[in-house]
Amino acid sequence: MLCPTNYSPPSKLFPKYPYIALMNEYRKYLDPETIAKLGNIELKARMIVEGFITGMHRSPYHGFSVEFSQHRQYRPGDEIRFLDWRVYARSGRYYIKEFEEETNLRCMIAIDSSASMKFSSGKSISKFDYSCYLAAALAMLMIQQRDAVGLTLYNNSIQTFLPANSRKSYISQILMALENATPQDTTGTAAALEILAERINRRGLVILFSDFFDDTTSIINALRHLRHKRHEVLLFQVLDDREVDFNFGNAANFIDLETGEQIVTQPYHIRKGYEATMKDFIANLKKECLHHQVDYNLLTTSTPFDKALLDYVLKRGKN
């Protein structure tokens, strides 16, 4: 278990309530600002996953991805712990127990790496960093589940494409790609998703992270393409809190991170109109997603990571 250098064993801090102490200790590692202060992305992902598991009161590693499916004959390289010794006792032959999601679930995590995703306000982390930390935690969780996971980073075109793989060592490639990525250039979500739909040649789960500041109609058409390919789609719209409430004070200079265009204005004059427009934008995207059976989730960069992880767990539990 990875812990910070100033970590104190919960049993010493709260000897009468060791579990509560442990849960409180890890609860802070579900807070985006705290996570941002840690070291490399592997440590951040591990702390998010461990904090989430502790908060669940029981391991989520059972119940949504390990249901027994069938037996198959043992092959060299298979893990011995999955041998069915009862079958061996009856037949004298070695058979491996396979599990439903081990054989069926392949996941592609796609993250918008356009310049608008690097926006952050105040002490909050950027939308891109938030998405990367959450994606890293999801990838780690799924590979521990023996699911196959891949990664796509895109802006106006696909910048990185790592096909889905279930090897434990593969997490290092995913984490390295996330660690080295820098949000830049304009957004082309629809075009990137169209290409992605053609690249993924086996039906699976597609998890999307973006602010979706693009033409909604074209995005929905691209999502329809993924659904037509029979993929399950889990969409996370990641926004900064100020993008939702427009609480920027009395005067502000706004700069478009993708085009460099600038405008100076007094936010309180346009706040009411902005909030109405943003509300309509979010509501329309959500409505279209629900209509096309895309699982929509809205997150702000102040949202604890366990909310998003729980959405994923609940999504997997339906299948």
pLDDT digits (tens, 9 = 90+) for 144-192: 888 899 999 999 999 999 999 988 899 999 999 999 999 999 989 999 9
Which pLDDT belongs to residue 10? 39
Distance from C-alpha of 95 to C-alpha of 88, rounded to nearest angstrom: 7
Burial track 42-78 (b if 16+ CB lie within 10 A, e otherwise): bebbbbbbbbbbbbeeeebeeebbeeeeeeeebeeee
**Domain-located, residue 173:** yes
Number of domains within the chain: 2
pLDDT at 81 over 50: yes
Q: Which domain range does residue 94 map to?
A: 68-101
Do 78 and 140 lie in one domain? The reply is no
Do 94 and 175 lie in one domain? The reply is no
Which pLDDT belongs to residue 319? 56
pLDDT at 16 over 50: no
Do 218 and 74 lie in one domain? The reply is no
Do 128 and 226 lie in one domain? The reply is yes
Q: Work out the average pLDDT over 43-69.
A: 61
**Domain-located, residue 20:** no
Do 94 and 181 lie in one domain? The reply is no
Q: Is residue 253 very low, low, confident or very high in pLDDT (cuts 50, 70, 90)? A: low
Distance from C-alpha of 131 to C-alpha of 229, rounded to nearest angstrom: 25
Q: What is the pTM of this model?
A: 0.76
Do 96 and 117 lie in one domain? The reply is no
**Domain-located, residue 247:** yes
Domain boundary among 45, 80, 101: 101
Q: Is residue 94 very low, low, confident or very high in pLDDT (cuts 50, 70, 90)? A: confident
**Domain-located, residue 32:** no
Q: Work out the average pLDDT over 246-272.
A: 71
Strands (E), the chain: 68-73, 95-99, 106-112, 148-154, 158-165, 205-210, 232-239, 252-255, 262-265, 295-300
Higher pLDDT, 312 or 119: 119
**Domain-located, residue 56:** no
